Amino acid sequence: MRTRATDLFGIEYPIFAFSHCRDVVAAVSRAGGMGVLGALYFTPEELELELAWIDEHTGGRPYGVDVVMPAAYEGADLGDAGDLLARLQSMIPDGHRAFLEDLLARHGVEPSAGTAARTLLGWTDQTARPQVEVALRHPIALLASALGPPPADVVDRAHGRGVRVAGLASSARHARKQADAGVDLVVAQGTEAGGHTGDVSTMVLVPEVVDAVGAGTPVLAAGGIGRGRQMAAGLALGADGVWTGSIWLTVSEADTPGRVLPKLLAATSRDTVRSRAWTGKPARFLRTAWTDAWEGEGSPGCLPMPMQFMLVADALPRIARSGDGELVTFPVGQVVGSMDRVRPAARVVHELIEEYAEAVERLGGLTRS
Amino acid sequence: MRTRATDLFGIEYPIFAFSHCRDVVAAVSRAGGMGVLGALYFTPEELELELAWIDEHTGGRPYGVDVVMPAAYEGADLGDAGDLLARLQSMIPDGHRAFLEDLLARHGVEPSAGTAARTLLGWTDQTARPQVEVALRHPIALLASALGPPPADVVDRAHGRGVRVAGLASSARHARKQADAGVDLVVAQGTEAGGHTGDVSTMVLVPEVVDAVGAGTPVLAAGGIGRGRQMAAGLALGADGVWTGSIWLTVSEADTPGRVLPKLLAATSRDTVRSRAWTGKPARFLRTAWTDAWEGEGSPGCLPMPMQFMLVADALPRIARSGDGELVTFPVGQVVGSMDRVRPAARVVHELIEEYAEAVERLGGLTRS
């Protein structure tokens, strides 16, 4: 099939697969879609290794990298101050630390080794830029920015190297800003998506974004896209392709944690919740005792980004390996309800395309008869 | 065009238009879709008059009636007790009454004439049944049930008169229950819809419901359907038609209150909220000072259905005609963002079909090239 998105990258199918796992990224690109590696959790050195591996395993097919450069976060005004991390740490209230430790204890999670809150991840301009530098040294085809439009100089540098830029938007106004910032395509992401997400549904958002950015900027539909009928719906709404994420968590190649995978396979579409309990910004997660506790009675409330993650970062691996497992959660969208078996990524791509073709054929038949 | 839904009713377009306004119902049926009158706010006597008017103004085209027969509500176990209303009234806490009166006073709304909480509307089995009796005396083609499957005897009586039955469902499990209860079609309504709504988006819900009810039961997609691209998306998801509601609030024929209409025309897709502040069950409304107050700090919380409505019923007309207008709200879905001008209902139908055809044509072109 052929859309402006397939033309832009010379790919077979307009299926963009966001994943933090290099194996998934390479597998989707090899299958005719485009894998996009989420850089957030990697140090620049780690990212370098991941991308070198992907370069060797895509057979020359294009792939992308996704960074997080939020336009707004606590400490943004602290600029380049070397002590940004320490200053943000001092802003975390003791009550929040106590609430967290009590919650962990109640669920039998092993105590902290005292290494908490050492990280900002790539959640600030300061920490995301080195990731961009690494990414641009590799033959990437796409640089995506997950929160807010990428800074103008980043767009220019990417374009200078022939790299296309995509921005994620959860409202027509944000999409317009992204288009004005010079992105080559906009990902219109509905509230049903996993991870950071707005409150407008994909069904409502995509046509709004298509109209807002105008004919010059192709749009990818994101949120609630896990099967071919949903891909057909996304394109019917005016998109030139689909941006997917959740469905790659349960493919054979994925490195999804062992305590998470069975929860994903068992969950229904009603088992997610939009919560600030992981990163400080609203993001959709599997609803578990973790999200219930932070959103429920007795919670001190969630801290703003990036402090909420700084607070909980050290607890997450401990939750993943110890305790009763009830706190274990993971970012995932409402399509989790249809993720009920483990298949190779290439098979997911082919089943998407197969059902897509059936849906389009059926639609054509409704007006012909 | 032709789907199982158009075949079922002999209509031209699979567009079902829910409205509380008889003029809209008749106009959509005359334009080739199917108008469905929401009976909730009418006494049996009023409903009789409305349906007699519709019978005279549809030119023999089919139309439907929508009643609310919730499977669960406070007082359901009180059965046929004549004093159901009084007993429910006595269960409304004084704190809630005080919160309401204070809220109204702060916004300059005229005081109560002491007629509060006289109504249950059609929100109980006891009050909805007389509406069903009236409806079945008219040549209706469809009886729809908005909350939970209709009781078996109601389904049987409708079928005995050649009337098709539809049930609204916001989860695959509910849809399966409706199909088991013998409904002829299921309306799969996503969270973006106006009025009572679940938490799963249309994009995710429709394929789940289509698969859950099986090939024997056609599905209508509802929630977020306001234009032709969205109609195409709904059908791409596997539906045989679309169920729409919000978009008819701003047509020329609608009797939408004068203080509501400008708010609807000005609202964006981000200006709605899912709240229990009107009926006691989660429903999507225009976000205003009313929903903010009930959901915010200092709120005593919302009462269960039907008590929340009993509490606020008398205040709603007072809010509509007096005070600063900030409390004025209305049930509407996220498509309110695209409702920016007043057009005749027939033109809305034709523009839906026109854009639908363009979207299907474009989709076909993507795979042909």
What pLDDT, on a 0 to 100 scale, did the predictor assign at position B45?
A: 94
Contacts of A225 in chain B (CB under 8 A): 203
Measure in Å the smallest separation between the Cα of A144 and chain B Cα atoms: 24
pLDDT band, very low/low/confident/very high, at A114 (cuts 50, 70, 90) = low
Write the DSSP assignment of A313-359 as a string of letters: TTHHHHHHHSS-STT---B--GGGGG--S-B-HHHHHHHHHHHHHHH
Cβ–Cβ contact A172 with B under 8 A: yes
The model's pLDDT over A347-366, given as tens digits with 9 standing for 90+, comes to: 999 999 999 999 999 999 99
Q: Do B236 and A236 touch (CB under 8 A)?
A: yes
**Chain A residues inside the 8 Å CB shell of B3:** 366
Task: Look at B201 and A202 and tell me if their CB atoms are within 8 Å.
Answer: yes
Interface touch B364/A360, C-beta < 8 Å: yes
pLDDT score, position A87: 83
Task: Just give the CATH number of A4-73+123-255+344-368.
Answer: 3.20.20.70
Question: Cβ B227–A207 below 8 Å, yes or no?
Answer: yes
Instruction: Give burial (CB, 10 Å; 0-12/13-18/19+) of B2.
Output: middle
The rounded percent of chain A whose pLDDT value lies above 90 is 79
For residue A339, the model assigns a pLDDT of 98
CA–CA separation, A126 and A27 (whole Å): 31
**Under a CB-based contact definition with an 8 Å cutoff, are residues B274 and B284 in contact?**
yes
Overall size of chain A counted in residues: 369
Residues of chain B neighbouring A171 (CB-CB closer than 8 A) = 269-270
Least confident range of A239-253, A317-331, B81-95, B314-328: B81-95
Which residues of chain B neighbour A224 with C-beta distances below 8 Å? 201, 203-204
Q: How far is B11 from chain A (nearest CA, A)?
A: 14
| Overall average pLDDT of the A10-24 stretch | 98
Cα distances (Å, whole numbers) of residue A277 to A328, B87, B206: 12, 42, 29
Determine, for residues B201 and A198 on separate chains, whether the beta-carbon distance falls below 8 Å.
no
Residues A191, B201: C-beta atoms closer than 8 Å: yes
Q: Give yes or no for residue A62 having a pLDDT over 80.
A: yes
Instruction: Collect all residues with Cβ–Cβ distance below 8 Å to B100 and sequence separation of at least 6.
Output: B311, B312, B315
H runs (alpha helix) in B142-223? 152-160, 172-180, 202-213
B167 touches A at CB < 8 Å: no
CB contact (8 A) between residue B334 and residue A190: no
Q: What is the pLDDT of residue B238?
A: 98
Asked if residue A33 has pLDDT above 80, the reply is yes
Beta-carbon count within 10 A of B174 CB: 22
Query: What's the confidence (pLDDT) of residue A155?
Result: 94
| CB nearest to A335's CB, from B204, B225, B334 | B204
Please name the residue of chain A whose CA is at the shortest distance from the CA of residue B354. Answer: A367
**Pairwise CA distance, residues A149 & A155, whole Å:** 9
Contact B203 A367 (CB under 8 A): no
Residue contact A203–B190, C-beta within 8 A: yes
Q: Please name the residues between 269 and 288 in chain B that touch chain A, using a CB distance below 8 Å.
A: 269-270
Note whether A313 contacts B: Cβ–Cβ < 8 A.
no
3-class secondary structure, A297: coil
Q: State whether residue A260 sits within 8 Å of chain B by CB.
A: no
Over 90: is that where the pLDDT of A82 sits? Answer: no
Q: In what order do the strands lie in the sheet with A195-196?
A: A195-196, A283-286, A272-275
Which structure tokens are listed for A369? 């008869």
- Which residue on chain B is closest to A228 by alpha carbon? B237
Residue A59: left if φ>0, alpha if ψ -120 to 50, beta else—which one? Answer: left
A91 CA to chain B: closest CA distance, Å? 25
pLDDT grade for A314, boundaries at 50, 70 and 90: confident
Per-residue pLDDT for A81 more than 60?
A: no
A363 lies within 8 A of chain B by CB = yes
Tokens representing residue B82 in the block: 């004549």
CA atoms within a 13 Å half-sphere pointing along the CA-CB vector of A215: 0
Question: For residue B2, what is the nearest residue in chain A, using CA coordinates?
Answer: A366
Tell me if chain B has a CB within 8 Å of the CB of A169.
Answer: no
Q: How far is B49 from chain A, CA to nearest CA, in Å?
A: 36
Mean pLDDT, residues A338-342:
97
For the stretch A183-193, pLDDT in tens is 999 999 999 99
Q: Which residues in chain B have their CB less than 8 angstroms from residue A333's CB?
A: 204
Q: What pLDDT sits at residue A120?
A: 57
Nearest to B169, CA basis, from B103, B95, B219: B219
Q: Which of A257-266, A309-318, B330-339 has the lowest mean pLDDT?
A: A309-318
Is A234 an interface residue toward B (CB < 8 Å)? yes
Per-residue model confidence (pLDDT) at position B88: 84
Q: For A136-178, how does the pLDDT look when each residue is reduced to its tens digit (9 = 90+)?
A: 999 999 999 987 788 889 999 999 999 999 999 999 999 999 9
ipTM, 2 decimals? 0.94
Q: Are B364 and A367 within 8 A, CB to CB?
A: no
B interface test, pick of A4, A6, A204 with most B CB neighbours within 10 Å: A204
| Chain A partners within 8 Å of B200 (Cβ) | 192, 269-270, 334, 337
The tens-digit pLDDT sequence of chain B (369 residues) is 999 999 999 999 999 999 999 999 999 999 999 999 999 889 999 999 999 999 999 999 999 999 987 666 566 666 555 677 788 888 899 999 999 999 999 999 998 876 544 555 556 667 788 899 999 999 999 999 987 788 889 999 999 999 999 999 999 999 999 999 999 999 999 999 999 999 999 999 999 999 999 999 999 999 999 999 999 999 999 999 999 999 999 999 999 999 999 999 999 999 999 999 998 999 999 999 999 999 888 899 999 988 898 899 889 889 999 999 999 999 999 999 999 999 999 999 999 999 999 999 999 999 875
Q: Determine whether the interchain pair A229/B208 forms a contact, defined as Cβ–Cβ distance below 8 Å.
A: no
Min CA distance, A239 vs chain B (Å)? Answer: 10
Residue position matching structure tokens 């609807």? B264
Find, among A172, A217, A193, A225, the residue nearest to B338 by Cα. Answer: A172
The CATH architecture one would assign to domain B4-73+123-249 is Alpha-Beta Barrel (3.20)
**Chain A residues touching B238 at Cβ < 8 A:** 229, 359
Q: What residues does each domain of chain A span? A: 4-73+123-255+344-368, 84-120+257-321
- Computed over every residue of chain A, the mean pLDDT equals 92
